[in-house]
Structure formats: C-alpha cells, structure tokens
Chain A
C-alpha cells in the first residue's frame, strides 16, 4: 500500500538496500559494460558501432525472419542449446562449490564418444540417438571423474586438474580419431551416420533448414531436472551444503567425499551432453587439435545466469545471439568476429569484478540515505 506513494528514488533505495537485489543487478551491468566496450572498440577502428550491433542482431535473429525464413534464429538456438549445456555444467559445479574449467575437455571427450558410436554402430534412429546421448553423458562424466577423485580423495584443487584434463582430452581424442575414424582432412573425424544425427526433419523444416536439432528439447528437460535436484531434493541440498561448507556438512553427518564426486560426475555428464548437442547436432564430426571454446563461454553463461538453471537459459540465449551474430558481422563488415570474443571476455572480467559494482552501489545507497536524513533533519530544524 505504502509503496504506491513512494517516489522512484525511495523505491530505488529500498530495493537496493537488500544485498541479494544488489547481486541481481551485477549481470546487467556486466553486459552493459561489455557491450559499451565493444562499441568503443568499433569506434576505435573506425567502424560504425550501431551498424555493427544491428548486423549482430540481423545475423542471429532478424535476417529473413519477416519473410518467414527462420534459418538465422534456428542457428542461434542451436548454439544457445550447446551453451545452455556448458553453462549449466559450470553453474551446477559452482553451486556445489566446484570450479569446473574442464567443461571444454569433458564436452570434447563426450562428443568424441558420440562421433565414434555414430560412425561404427548401425541402429534404427531412435535407438541410435538414445545410445549416443547416454554415451555422451557417460563420456563427459568419465572425464570429470579424474578431477573428482583427485579432489575428493586428495583435496587437490579441481581448477588445475580440469585445465590439465582439457589438454589430455585434446590429444587423446586426436589419437583415437585418427586411428579409428579419420576424416577427409587431417584435422577432422569422419561424419556420423544419418541415424546418429540429432537433426530432426520437422524441426529443420520449421526453421528453414537451420542447424537447430532435437537437443534443444533435451536441454529443456535437463535444465528442469537439474533445477529440481538442486532446489527440491535432499540430495541437491546436500551437494550445495558440502560446497558451501564441507566441515559443517561433515559434522552434520553428510558424506563429503562422495558428494564432491557426485557433483563432479553430474557436471561432467552435462558437459558431455553439450558434446552430443554440438557434434551430433551441429557439426556431425569432431575437429582435432582444439579444446572447444564452449567450455569457457559456459563460465560466462553461468556467471551471468547467477548459477541458476533458468538464468543459464537466458544468458545462453544472449551468448548464442552474440556468437552467431559475430560470424555474420565478420562476413558482412570489415569488423573481425573476435569483437564478440572481446565482449564475452570483458563480460567475464566484469562479472569477476561484481564486487566492485556491488561496492559502488552500496556506497551510492548510503550516500542517498544520508542525503535524505539531512533533508529530514533540516525540515525538523525549520
């Protein structure tokens, strides 16, 4: 009731006096700063920033949209799907107190298993898809198992081990692909069979032949499932508790080591699904010699989504737009597509620096409150 009569200023102060509300603002400010920096950079190299951003939007959503051609949007959704998986993988690990930088490697290994089984097995499509999706999750989980064990058993920081595992994945996959499923080029595996492709005719036609595929449905299911585990089950509560304070959790009778292992396995399994989504839905083969960038993008996605499963979906969409739009930007203008990487990198940096943003806001609120008090005092004196 009272709220109605309050001025915008009072409401502003009231809202941001709450710390959790201040936290919620951080992602928006990170995005704003990131986009602003992109704008400055485009000006710096003598390009029109407005044209640049319009090209990003056109390339990722609008081009052809009004003529009934959903190809661009479909491509963006396909990339956003992969990012949802990697973002969710990072976010889940964060929520349970782990920093999984190895999502790229886990995704690569899961994807390798997918491409391998997509090449050698001959099965009816529904069975084949079920097999590769399960295999992707298992592959990713296996790759996360090593850092998980090292963390649970020896208390070794997962940060370094997951980085090392990324490169081990890169070379392991390179070896087995070239031995078992070499492609036309030295840097590629051979293509998976049609029956193992996540592309679905109805969906592809609906989006005018774009890369969108069945994994988008899978992503939706997994997001809800992870949200349910984290928010509605004792299991999820325990995982979060162990991440938040292992000693207290141990004292409360939780099995700390086992829970760390579970967290890492689940995070890895989601990363593996990203592999299925990308390698069986988008590229249909594995590229050798690189750790997919989606793992690092996943960190950005998770940070902006404040580690909540639904937040991850939203920020994955944003990054999907940036990534797909960046390719278009590269083709249409003389602005290098790395502009998008710079924006993403800056967003991560600013997200790391959220404390600064919160700090500035806290100061601002304090100042405003002080001013108000002064006004009141002056009135009283009068």
Chain B
C-alpha cells in the first residue's frame, strides 16, 4: 500500500498542477465579477503556444533548460492577450459573459488546430523538450512519508505554480488591490462610488486569468501530455469545477485540484496499476467523479452563498 501511495502521489500532483493554476486564474476573473467559462479555451491557447515554441526550438536542436520556461512565458502572454477578447465583450460591451466564454472556447479550439495544421501540417505537435524533474530533493525528501509523496520525482514547474498560488492568495486577500478586486465582484456600484475603477480592475482580472490559464496549458503540455493534439482533455472545465468546489477560496481550490488530480491519475492508471485495477471500478467512474462532486458541492453550498454576489452581471454605472 505504501509503495502504491509513493508511486501515485507524484503523478497525482503532476496532474493537479495545471488544473490548479488555471483555477486560480479563474478565481481572479470571477472574484472581480466576470464569469469565465472560457478557461478551457485559454488553456488550449497556452498549450498550443508553448508547443509551437518548443517545436521550433526542437527543430533548431536546442534543448537548453530555458526552452521550457520561454515556452511557458510566451503561453502566458498569448493567452493573456486572447483573454482581452473576453474582457472586451463582457466588460466593455456588457455582453452575455457565458456566450462570450463559449465563443472563446470554440475560437481557441478552432484557431489552435487551424494554425497547428498550417504551421506543422499536422494537428499533433510532439515535443522533445520537456519540463525538468527532480528525482529527490535534498533533505525534504528524507522526511518520512511526506518526503516520498511531495518531494520525490516532482516537476520544477510544480513549485513555480505553488509559489504563484501563494502570491495569488496574498494579492487577493491581503492587499488593498485584492480588496478592491473583490469589491468589484460583490458590489461594483459601491466600489465605483468609493473611487475604484471597476472597468479597469475587471480587465486586469480577466487578463490575469488568461495569463495563468496560459501557464496551465503550457505546463499541461510540458509535464503530463508531451504533445499538442488539439485538446486539454477538459482540464479547463475541471478548473472551473475546482473553483466552485473550492468555494472561490484559494486554499480550498488547491485541495480541490489535488482531489481532481488523484481522480484523473486513478483513471489513467486503472488498467496498468495492480492496486487500482483490484478495486474493480471502471476508469470512467474516476473521470466522471470530479464533475459529479462539483454538482454535489453546488447543492451543499447553495444554502450559504459563497459565489461573488455580482458574478456574471455586467457593470452598469446607472444601475443601483
């Protein structure tokens, strides 16, 4: 059993990291009052950007360590730019945010595959450069149990994401800026009368959600996927689920994504791993469970409202 846990923990963490950072991105957007169901699309844009970047480095025979980081950075930038589309529609044009998010998802799928085919003549881009893995982290990996679970065989990008999550928590909950951001999601009219620029803050938040989702997509590619194939496997929607499951709170979101990561790992190992296959539970069950749990979470949380109050409402200064 211990062996099993030692084996599964690194995989589950790797699977949960892209969901985590994307969900934190969604947190920014939704805390500011803009529903972002386009996370899947934003992730996909990041996945594509990073893949094509690495593809060109691969072709040039460059396999330096920094290639992966350049790819992740570019993915963040391009996804951030792409998110402006969503911000423009849902903040400036006061459009239906769900429709805009749907359009973002469709456009992302179409554009990425379109350009993948145009640039590489194939929908699939496989990569040579991948993220670095630490076999064993000195000292920390010697801690009993946890050392094997959390500090062995871990991707360098995972630390990067955990760091970003901490920073995000700090910004949203411990700074004036974060308080302003949250006030835009709760009661934008009041925020406005207190001198806060609601439009600017919402733009910022949506763009940040794009950047973080882009990171998420890129990390998905350089760690677990290893190739671009025109989808991120519903990870963006899982992130949306984690956001809800975590009640729009960073720490809860981190735990929700760990749980989702475990389910995803169980599903992909259900034929291979002896312990998991001995449970005799079909892999589809593990795959569906995060979504089902999100539905249950919604019911349980429905009594005490935890979603930002003005979520999904375009800001109209004339409305009170």
- A residues with a Cβ closer than 8 A to B are 41, 45, 99, 101, 146, 150, 154-157, 159-161, 163-165, 167-168, 171-172, 174-175, 296, 299, 303, 336, 338-342, 344-346, 348-349, 351-356
Interface pair A164/B117, CB less than 8 Å apart:
no
Interface pair B106/A172, CB less than 8 Å apart:
no
- B residues with a Cβ closer than 8 A to A are 35, 37, 85, 89, 93-96, 98-100, 102-107, 109-111, 113-114, 117-118, 234, 237, 240-241, 244, 282, 284-285, 287-288, 291-292, 294-295, 298-299, 302, 312
* List of B residues within 8 angstroms of A159 by Cβ: 35, 37, 98
* List of B residues within 8 angstroms of A299 by Cβ: 99, 102
Interface pair A168/B292, CB less than 8 Å apart:
yes
Interface pair A101/B117, CB less than 8 Å apart:
no
**Given that A163-B237, A336-B113 are contacting pairs, would A355 and B100 also be in contact in the complex, using a CB cutoff of 8 Å?**
no
Interface pair A349/B100, CB less than 8 Å apart:
yes
Instruction: Identify the closest chain A residue to B282 (Cβ).
Output: A175
A99 to B107, CA, bound (A): 20
Report the minimum CB–CB distance from B123 to chain A (whole Å).
8
**Given that A99-B98, A146-B295, A156-B299 are contacting pairs, would A163 and B103 also be in contact in the complex, using a CB cutoff of 8 Å?**
no
Instruction: Identify the closest chain B residue to A174 (Cβ).
Output: B284
* List of A residues within 8 angstroms of B298 by Cβ: 150, 154, 156, 160-161
Interface pair B288/A352, CB less than 8 Å apart:
no
Majority DSSP secondary structure for residues of B touching A: helix
**Given that A150-B298, A161-B295, A352-B100 are contacting pairs, would A341 and B109 also be in contact in the complex, using a CB cutoff of 8 Å?**
yes
A159 to B240, CA, bound (A): 11
* List of A residues within 8 angstroms of B240 by Cβ: 160, 163
Report the minimum CB–CB distance from A250 to chain B (whole Å).
19
A356 to B92, CA, bound (A): 9
Interface pair A338/B103, CB less than 8 Å apart:
no
Give the residue among B35, B103, B241, B312 with the most A Cβ atoms within 10 A.
B103
Partner of B117, one of A172, A336, A345: A336
Report the minimum CB–CB distance from B129 to chain A (whole Å).
26
Partner of A167, one of B96, B234, B302: B234
A164 to B89, CA, bound (A): 24
**Given that A349-B85, A352-B96, A353-B95 are contacting pairs, would A167 and B103 also be in contact in the complex, using a CB cutoff of 8 Å?**
no
**Given that A338-B113, A348-B99 are contacting pairs, would A168 and B106 also be in contact in the complex, using a CB cutoff of 8 Å?**
no
Report the minimum CB–CB distance from A271 to chain B (whole Å).
16
Interface pair B94/A355, CB less than 8 Å apart:
yes
* List of B residues within 8 angstroms of A345 by Cβ: 103, 106-107, 109-111
A95 to B292, CA, bound (A): 28
Interface pair A303/B99, CB less than 8 Å apart:
yes
Q: List 18 contacting pairs A-B, 8 Å CB cutoff, sorted by A.
A: A99-B98, A101-B98, A150-B299, A154-B299, A157-B312, A163-B37, A164-B237, A164-B294, A168-B292, A171-B288, A341-B109, A341-B110, A345-B110, A346-B103, A348-B103, A351-B99, A352-B95, A355-B94
A171 to B35, CA, bound (A): 26
Interface pair A167/B114, CB less than 8 Å apart:
no
* List of B residues within 8 angstroms of A341 by Cβ: 106, 109-110, 113-114
**Given that A163-B37, A346-B103 are contacting pairs, would A355 and B93 also be in contact in the complex, using a CB cutoff of 8 Å?**
yes
* List of A residues within 8 angstroms of B104 by Cβ: 349
Interface pair B99/A167, CB less than 8 Å apart:
no
**Given that A167-B288, A344-B106, A349-B107 are contacting pairs, would A355 and B95 also be in contact in the complex, using a CB cutoff of 8 Å?**
yes
A349 to B117, CA, bound (A): 23
Report the minimum CB–CB distance from A91 to chain B (whole Å).
13
Partner of B302, one of A156, A165, A340, A348: A156
